[in-house]
A and B are shown apart, each in its own frame.
Chain A
Amino acid sequence: MNAIHRRQFIQRVGLSAASLPFLMGLPSLGLAAPARPRQRLIVMFSPNGTVPTAYWPDETGADFKLKEILSPLEPYRDRMLILRGLSNKVRGDGDGHMRGMSCLLTAIELFPGNIQGGSDTPAGWASGISIDQEIKDYFQSREETRTRFGSLEFGVGVTDRADPWTRMSYAGPNRPVAPISDPYQMYQKLYGQLQDKEDLKSVLDSVREDLKKVGKLISAEDRKLLAEHQALVRQMEKEIAEAGRQKLRVAPPTFEAGIADQNDNVPRLSRMQIDLLVNSFVNDMARVATLQFTKSVGMAKMKWLDINDGHHTLSHEQDKNVEAVTKLTKINTWFCGELRYLVDKLAHTPEPGASGTMLDNTLIVWTNELGKGNSHTLDNIPFVLVGGGWGFRMGRSLDFKQTAHNRLHLALAHGAGHRIDTFGKVALCEGGPINLG
């Protein structure tokens, strides 16, 4: 983990601290229509592998039939790309789950370390940046695509533990990015300054009055200093009023209070986070987001589906255990349902300041750390793309037959206009970006 300056840390997470520069006139919310259509990326993660037989269509090409797990996306069939045959070929330290998770978006080896999995050698953090952060950095480096946060990392039911099983986003080698699992915390991060602004506004008037009053007690010579101070306070008031005129495109969502961050609340937490995610995109606070359901080896107990077993335990059951396979299919279908909710929201929200909908300019990648739970294979990692705006020809089911997933990441980077030659482990990039056009 790199040096985090405590002061910067406070500025990053402290609400007032973070909000003040914002009040002082950072870029506005971009009410004007963008010169080029906006491009957005969401990476959604669910753990423990899929049920291949209930997931991959039998056909390739434009004419394919969705199986049970992907069935919730039926209305968006022509806006999907199902990418079979992409494999996480990164080897080295760490067990399958660790590499599955921490190499999923980084596509590079883990450092040697002290975290011992259920097999293999112990390992540490990933040794490179993840593709979501790479694209975020690219967007943030250019004036026309820069946003307040650049990227937002949402979590649902991720345990409060930092290790290679719980982190898929990396700002760089040894720099895992923690997802925020608490929607209230995310809300504060996104909208805390609104309340701060109100509080500050309410006191500045009194401060100015007080300065005037105190000025009467002191000599004329000393009063000059207070007069200067008074002018500064007036200036700040003006700037806050100015900032207040930069209206948010949409108001922040209203939440029920006190939904605790625990297993049984996962369905509600999921919807809260998705609402916040879409909301933050409409207000153009970020163009990249990750949405991480639990973690690799996640043990969510989906009682709301009448499933009382932990997800990871179930995923180890043999294929012949029909009951387990049924449950796992149900679980994965539920995740797809959450994806559907996200896609629906984007499809029903007009693209701000432009024609079309948000979905036209947003690409969602739904993925998983394993191809299949009971074999712990890193081959055939589930990758489903939904949405548009990245120059990919959608509405197809493709099979890349054992292609390194680095090449998908390259395709994503190129889709964003970021023309890098390699991403992650260089040797796995041969052939360049996979062709999705």
Chain B
Amino acid sequence: MKRKFHAGWRPLVTGTALLLGLTQSGLAVTDRPVNGQAVYRRWCVNCHGKEGEGVKDKYNGALQGDWTLEKLAHYIDRKMPDDDPGKCAGPQAEAVARYIYGEFYSRDARARKHPARVELARLTNRQYVLVVADLLQQFQGPVAAVKETHGLRATYYSSRNTRREEQAFERVDAQVDFEFGTNGPAGVAATTNGFAIHWRGSVVADETGEYEFSLKTPNGARLWVNDDETPLVDGSVASGTTNEPRASIRLIGGRAYPVRLEFVKVPYNFKAPKNPNSGIVLQWKPPHGASQAIPARNLSPERAEPTFVVGTPFPADDSSAGYERGVGVSKAWDEATTQAAGEVANYVLKHLDRLAHSKASDTNRAAKVETFCRGFVEAAFRRPLTAEQNRIFVTLPLTGAPKLEAGVKRVVLLALQSPRFLYVGLDNAQPDDFTVAERLALELWDSLPDAELRRAAREGGLRSREQVAQQARRMLPDPRTRTKLRYFLQQWLQMNRVEDLSKDAQLYPGFTPEMVADLRVSLNLFLDDVVWGGTPDYRRLLLDRDLFLNARLAQFYGLELPPAAATNEFVKVAADPHQRSGVVTHPYLLAEFSYPKSSSPIHRGVFLTRNIVGRSLKPPPMAQVFKDADFAPNLTMREKVAELTRPAACQACHSVINPLGFSLEQYDAVGRFRAREGERVIDVVSNYPNDDGSVVQFKGARDVAEFAAGSEEAHNTFIEQLFHQLVKQPVMAYGPDALNQLRHNFVNSACNVQTLVVEIATLSAWHGCEKPAPPKRKS
């Protein structure tokens, strides 16, 4: 067992602004004031540089972090300078610590030196895909949302011919997962002419990404997904015995897509085929999922309209700040936007008459097409066009091309290459009604303003903070908000970094890829349930004892499903509150932060430190490898980790990481509750050093969850991460008090996540609008 983790994490405490006053007063006051700057120049500047920026090959990193002043002074007193510890001690250490802290170390100092601001940003890749999808949707009529998901509409025919008179019956099939044997489906008259089945409806994608659809059948079948004309999977020729025709398609999460599946069993008139059986399984492998029959909860008998999903791959967005931001451009990105614009242009040309509501025979087709073009550009730019813009972006490309279609292509290429489409915040200096609408739509949906928001912008309905908040509240139940919020929660819980959750097959038999996929669904359902089902209280995320389980999971984790529950479906089950506490003990995360053969208190501890308890850790200067074989076999994992991280250099961080990680030791590498590790009873008691110097005793996972649920740092981390995910700008750019204000309101709203989303959207959409400018048109 080898996996890298880092020893020597530097614990850094957030929220130092509030602690500053306390710790300063705690410092010793001496008779002779020491000049901190002078001390710094004497002892520190050689390795740390003039502004604490670091010196190559001496101390590379910048001298900044979230330790309290007191802790900083204490550390310098004992450890600095590096080559002669103890030389810079007592009052000198205190003075230099105060100097460092005030000049560049602390968050406030950094904010003062480099004030955060709302930056110009381009659309992130995620936003690009969603914006383009909704841009084209605007011209294709209203989208009928799928209301029920419980299977596909099926028509059975008593012949390979699917004429009406051959129809045997219709019904809804929860899944397409059939073995008909040699006789065919019950109720279909056995004729010598084979039989056929057509399934229709929609498939609902949970997450955004590549979906691989496959057809497991010895017969012929074709599958259409999100395209009524060209089949995605053409398996009309069955060939070979192990052949499962398959194809991938990119889908946007939280949306329904039309599907159609046509199956035919042909008669064999001459000699018997090698395989006389018939049957079909409609399978998919969703992102982070396993290949299996599409579950009923992702199928609907209602038909959705196709959505255009950009297929061009984009280079990954910058996420160095912990969230994806559009802060850089590159050649690869420029080429991707060009290619994607071409893709959209081709789609528009192929469907031009549908989009422009015209017909090839229309005498005024050119006029209709021009109207469409103007609408397209306005939607892309998120604001009305001036006469001059209309000339540049619509009239000139249309008239400059040899044919109408070529002109349309140029309009699309130009609009989608224009900074007015690609960038957000061109109007930050003077935001107007359309800026506010654009911000709201991107913040809540990663997409374009809808008709209602556009109307509000046009009619001056976004002129007060309350009007903006009202719009945000209206937009909240939209599936796109749900999708974005779920994406945030997944990022918060680091669910999107997961590559491989597989465990040692000998130690954890039955923990199959299908189980891992089920666990992800289970966690997703839990997150949705907290945020949208009943009381959207952040603390429920940490404290609820409910688990969503299907039969497979219930059996594995030793819980009982209600007797009436369908085997494939997920049911909310109340677990023992001593054993389960929200996301903290969700098996998916416990398994994620584990080794293939054992739990990993360090991975779990680091995750809890950063994301749940809300203390930040700096990347360590050196990497260590945990080797199980290095330890005596009778040691517990806790003992091994304690031993490994015993050196003082490690303890600086591991004094925080370890107690958090140890409190989850009652869960094995697949997240099952356990009282013992081998022969040894698990020691669940751990002492956690709080920021204020006090020690908190945890007796297991629920104690950690309860501590976090009431912790200011934990709230700050949650709010800040949510803010960044929604707004794609640093919260500090919205004023030094923005985060405190949001937290204050959050706590007062009983930690209501929905209210918090509205607050954040309103705060950032309204930024700079206190004195709203009249709608302005720029050229």
Contact = CB atoms under 8 A, between A and B. Distances in A.
Given A113-B240, A124-B238, A1 B331 contact: no
Contact of A225 (B219, B238, B329): B329
B428 A218 contact: yes
Interface in B216-273: 218-220, 232, 234-241, 243, 245-250, 265-273
A113 B329 contact: no
A116 interface: yes
Contacts of A121: 268, 270-274
A112 B240 contact: yes
A185 interface: no
Interface stretch (B11-19, B414-422, B506-514, B644-652): B414-422
Contacts of A219: 120, 429
A233 B418 CA distance: 11
Contacts of B249: 6
A14 B218 contact: no
Contacts of B392: 206, 210
Nearest to A213: B779
Contacts of B268: 116, 121-122
A93 B419 CA distance: 60
A221 B327 CA distance: 12
Contacts of B241: 111-112
A199 B274 CA distance: 54
Contact of B778 (A204, A211, A217): A217
B334 interface: yes
A16 B417 contact: no
A111 B240 contact: yes
Contact of A120 (B271, B338, B406): B271
Contacts of A111: 239-241, 243
Interface string A117-135: 1011111110100000000
B5 to A, nearest CB: 35
B504 interface: no
B239 A113 contact: yes
A233 B341 CA distance: 14
B319 to A, nearest CB: 17
A218 B239 contact: no
A272 B261 CA distance: 37
A433 B561 CA distance: 68
B410 A199 contact: yes
Interface stretch (B342-350, B620-628, B675-683): B342-350
Contact of B331 (A127, A173, A235): A235
Contact of B270 (A116, A164, A202, A204): A116
B239 A124 contact: yes
A19 B342 CA distance: 10
A217 B423 CA distance: 13
A235 B335 CA distance: 11
A113 B268 CA distance: 11
Interface string A173-201: 11000000000000000000001100110
B429 A7 contact: no
A359 B320 CA distance: 59
A97 to B, nearest CB: 14
Interface string A95-126: 00000000000000011111111011111110
B322 interface: no
Contact of A204 (B240, B335, B409, B417): B417
A196 B269 CA distance: 51
A6 B417 contact: no
B695 interface: no
Given A3-B246, A124-B238, A15 B334 contact: no
Contacts of B423: 214, 226
Contacts of A225: 120, 122, 327-329
Contact of B346 (A14, A207, A210, A222): A14
B143 interface: no
A164 B239 CA distance: 10
Interface string A6-30: 1101110011110110001000000
B334 A236 contact: yes
Contacts of A17: 311-312, 339, 342-343, 346
A164 B327 contact: no
Interface residues of B, number: 76
A214 B420 contact: yes
A232 interface: yes
B313 interface: yes
A218 B120 contact: yes
B475 interface: no
A142 interface: no
B145 interface: no
A3 B269 contact: no
Nearest to A126: B239
A93 B212 contact: no
Interface in B381-400: 392-393, 396-397, 400
B401 interface: yes
Nearest to B415: A203
A116 B266 contact: yes
A268 interface: no
B387 to A, nearest CB: 15
A228 interface: yes
Nearest to A93: B274
A229 B414 contact: no
Contacts of A4: 247-248
Contacts of A233: 334, 417
A203 B417 contact: yes
A116 B393 CA distance: 57
Contacts of B331: 232, 235
Contact of A207 (B119, B235, B330, B417): B417
B413 interface: yes
Contact of A214 (B270, B393, B426): B426
Interface string A339-354: 0000000000000000
A14 B414 contact: no
B478 interface: no
A245 interface: no
A219 B429 CA distance: 8
Given A14-B346, A206-B414, A229 B419 contact: yes
A163 interface: yes
B237 A115 contact: yes
Closest 10 A-B residue pairs measured CB to CB?
A124-B239, A16-B342, A222-B120, A111-B240, A114-B238, A112-B274, A232-B334, A125-B239, A203-B414, A111-B239
23 contacts: A3-B247, A4-B247, A10-B311, A11-B311, A15-B342, A16-B339, A17-B312, A112-B273, A114-B237, A114-B238, A114-B265, A114-B266, A120-B271, A174-B243, A195-B406, A199-B409, A203-B397, A206-B397, A206-B414, A210-B419, A217-B426, A217-B429, A236-B335
Given A7-B248, A111-B243, A226-B120, 8 more contacts: A6-B248, A113-B237, A114-B220, A114-B238, A114-B273, A199-B345, A225-B327, A225-B329
